[in-house]
């Protein structure tokens, strides 16, 4: 069903993206490669500056000029690069009118170093990350490659399709920073599908409708106190380190919620300057999660109260900055069933599941909710992929046999949803 040439090119692209991973909002090379490939196939491409509302962008802290120079030095196509503005990611469309089917592929990497062990296949085969401290250890290299292969399959079959297929190549999923800015592109969609490789399922297993995603807020808290000689006049200092330390303990002591799953984590606390100085600065990186909007709001509000209380105790100034946020969503069973039905006859598929709960967060939930708000159907599919290590671990690698399974399932699903009468 999938031509050998398309599978080979998809695998080669996955390895190329893998070698040049780009963190959220810096995916200039990936965006340019996708744009050039999509336009060659006849897709209408809009770069993110054309549709993003800057107020919806979260956690973007980059030197765009430097990242663009890096992208060009790493082989990004210059013509497409010259048309990218501030923001990475793109929207590509084929066809006109309804029905409108939207599919999202996230393209960013994880901020963790990749294993250099010879037992790590990308290292052994020479496609391990060349960007220090960054690696495609969530599998989004595979997602981007599948999206491009799907674009080719659909372009080849366009005479048999009606309506519009819209493919989104979304930046900054990690830290749930990009989904909110891309959510308006799902408005009015008849069908929306997000998908992920792996997630603990073995190669050959396809789940049509993941659920149980958690609402999550990521934020930084900065305490500013006052430095003073720790021996000479400590009473003149305002201790930002102690304020942050108290806040960390208070956040991890927030009472659990009877209504369902809740999570809090202080992932980073850095503070202080010198051994003999009352610490004037402290930075905390925090996340709160909840099974629904109410529990998530409870966790965030209690964490904020703990931060404010600690600031008051130590006479420190507090600044809280939201770095990312996502809501929760559930897959619609009707669409999940279409995906599993189509997957069942795909070569290599050994089993299908209609539903599976998972307690992580994905900002595709913004797009799912946007679709469902206007009466469309949304689903989050998972394509199992054996992996030698867990997601976000430097030794993570994808079983590439999962790529054609995901491609063919998504292709057959889109072809069915947009079948010409
Ligand atoms: Zn991830
Ligand atoms: Zn991911």
Region 364-383 average pLDDT? 98
> Do 193 and 57 belong to one domain?
yes
- Same domain (yes/no): 146, 208: yes
Q: What is the mean pLDDT of residues 162-174?
A: 98
In 3D, which of 131, 141, 51 has the Cα closest to residue 93? 51
| Model pLDDT, residue 360 | 87
pLDDT digits (tens, 9 = 90+) for 280-290: 999 999 999 99
Predicted confidence at residue 1, as pLDDT, reads: 82
pLDDT tens digits for 56-103?
Answer: 999 999 999 999 999 999 999 999 999 999 999 999 999 999 999 999
Instruction: Kindly report the CATH number assigned to the domain that includes residue 283.
Output: 3.30.70.360
Q: Are residues 197 and 272 in the same domain?
A: no
What is the CA(302)–ligand 2 centre distance, in A? 28
- How confident is the model at residue 397, as a pLDDT? 98
pLDDT digits (tens, 9 = 90+) for 114-128: 999 999 999 999 999
User: Residue 316 CB: number of other CB atoms within 10 A?
Assistant: 24
The residue out of 267, 293, 325 marking a domain boundary is 325
Task: Assess whether 121 and 175 both reside in one domain.
Answer: yes
Q: What is the pLDDT of residue 86?
A: 97
Contact predicate 120/397, CB 8 Å: yes
- Are 321 and 354 in the same domain? no
Number of domains comprising the chain: 2
CA of 309 to the centre of ligand 2 (A): 35
Q: What would the mean pLDDT of 274-298 be, rounded to a whole number? A: 97
Q: What is the 3-state secondary structure (H, E, C) of the chain?
A: CCCHHHHHHHHHHHHHHHHCCCCCCCCHHHHHHHHHHHHHCCCEEEEHHHCCCHHHCCCCCCCHHHHHHHHHHCCCCHHHHHCCCCCCCEEEEEECCCCEEEEEEECCCECCCCCCCCCCHHHHCCCCCCCCCCECCCCHHHHHHHHHHHHHHHHHCHHHECCEEEEEEECCCCCCCCHHHHHHHHCCCCEEEEEEECCCCCCCEEEEEEECCCEEEEEEEEEECECCECCCCHHHCECHHHHHHHHHHHHHCCCCCCCCCEEEEEEEEEECCCCCECCCEEEEEEEEEECCHHHHHHHHHHHHHHHHHHHHHHCCEEEEEEEEEECCCCCCHHHHHHHHHHHHCCCCCCEEEEEEECCCCCCHHHHHHHHHHCCCEEEEEEECCCCCCCCCCCCCCCCCCHHHHHHHHHHHHHHHHCECC
Percentage of residues of the chain with pLDDT beyond 70: 100
| Residue 281 sits in the same domain as residue 307 | yes
The rounded Å distance from CA 362 to ligand 2 centre is 8
- Model confidence at 421, in pLDDT bands (50, 70, 90)? confident
Please say if the pLDDT value at position 152 is more than 90.
yes
Residues 209 and 242 in one domain: no
Together in a domain, 293 and 359: no
Query: Is the same domain home to 189 and 43?
Result: yes
pLDDT in tens, 298-345: 999 999 999 999 999 999 999 999 999 999 999 999 999 999 999 999
pLDDT band with cut points at 50, 70 and 90 for residue 223? very high
**Domain end among 290, 325, 360:** 325
Residues at Cβ < 5 Å from ligand 2 ion = 138
How far apart are the CA of 141 and the centre of ligand 2, in A? 10
Structural domain including 181 reads: 4-213+329-417
Ligand with smallest separation from the Cα of 392: 1
Please tell me whether residues 281 and 203 are part of one structural domain: no
Does the pLDDT value for residue 196 go beyond 80?
yes
Spacing, Cα 105 to ligand 2 middle (Å): 10
Regarding whether 345 and 208 lie in a shared domain, the answer is: yes
Residues 113 and 168 grouped into a single domain: yes
> How far is the centre of ligand 2, averaged over its atoms, from the C-alpha of 193 (Å)?
15
Domain boundary among 273, 305, 325: 325
Q: What is the pLDDT of residue 228?
A: 98
Can you say whether the dihedral through the CA atoms of 163, 104, 350, 332 is positive or negative?
negative
286 CA to centre of ligand 1 in angstroms:
17
Minimum-distance ligand to the CA of 174? 1
List the CATH number of the domain containing 100. 3.40.630.10
pTM of the model: 0.94
Task: Tell whether the torsion through CA atoms of 406, 408, 413 and 414 is positive or negative.
Answer: positive
- Nearest ligand to the CA of 105 is 2
Phi and psi angles of residue 282, each rounded to the nearest 5 degrees, phi first: -150, 140
Distance 360 CA to ligand 2 centre (A): 10
Nearest ligand, CA 140: 2
How many angstroms is it from 371 CA to the middle of ligand 1? 23
């Amino acid at each position: 069903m999938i031509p050998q040439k398309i599978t080979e090119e998809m695998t080669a692209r996955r390895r190329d993206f893998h070698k040049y991973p780009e963190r959220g909002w810096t995916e200039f090379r990936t965006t340019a490669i996708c744009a050039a490939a999509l336009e060659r196939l006849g897709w209408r491409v809009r770069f993110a500056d054309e549709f993003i509302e800057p107020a919806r962008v979260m956690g973007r802290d980059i030197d765009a000029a430097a990242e663009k120079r890096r992208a060009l030095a790493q082989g990004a196509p210059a013509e497409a690069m010259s048309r990218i503005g501030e923001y990475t990611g793109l929207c590509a469309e084929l066809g006109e009118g309804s029905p409108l089917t939207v599919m999202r592929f996230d393209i960013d990497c994880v901020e963790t170093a990749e294993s250099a062990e010879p037992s790590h296949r990308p290292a052994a085969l020479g496609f391990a990350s060349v960007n220090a401290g960054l690696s495609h250890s969530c599998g989004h290299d595979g997602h981007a490659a599948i999206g491009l292969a799907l674009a080719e399959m659909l372009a080849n079959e366009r005479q048999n399709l009606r309506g519009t297929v819209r493919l989104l190549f979304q930046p900054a999923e990690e830290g749930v920073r990009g989904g909110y800015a891309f959510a308006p592109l799902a408005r009015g969609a008849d069908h929306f599908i997000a998908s992920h490789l792996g997630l603990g399922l073995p190669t050959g297993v396809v789940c049509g409708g993941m659920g149980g995603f958690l609402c999550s807020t990521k934020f930084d808290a900065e305490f500013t106190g006052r430095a003073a000689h720790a021996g000479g006049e400590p009473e003149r200092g305002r201790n930002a380190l102690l304020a942050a330390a108290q806040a960390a303990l208070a956040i991890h002591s927030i009472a659990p919620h009877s209504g369902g799953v809740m999570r809090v984590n202080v992932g980073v606390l850095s503070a202080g300057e010198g051994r003999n100085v009352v610490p004037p600065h402290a930075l905390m990186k925090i996340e709160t999660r909840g099974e629904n909007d109410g529990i998530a709001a409870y966790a965030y509000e209690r964490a904020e109260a703990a931060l404010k209380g600690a600031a008051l105790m130590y006479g420190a100034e507090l600044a809280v900055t939201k770095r990312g946020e996502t809501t929760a969503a559930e897959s619609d069973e009707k669409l999940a069933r279409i995906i599993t039905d189509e997957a069942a006859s795909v070569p290599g598929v050994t089993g299908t599941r209609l539903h599976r709960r998972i307690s992580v967060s994905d900002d595709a939930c913004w797009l799912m909710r946007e679709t469902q708000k206007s009466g469309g159907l949304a689903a989050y599919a998972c394509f199992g992929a054996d992996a030698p290590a867990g997601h976000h671990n430097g030794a993570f690698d994808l079983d590439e046999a999962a790529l054609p399974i995901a491609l063919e399932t998504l292709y057959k699903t889109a072809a069915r949803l947009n079948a010409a009468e």
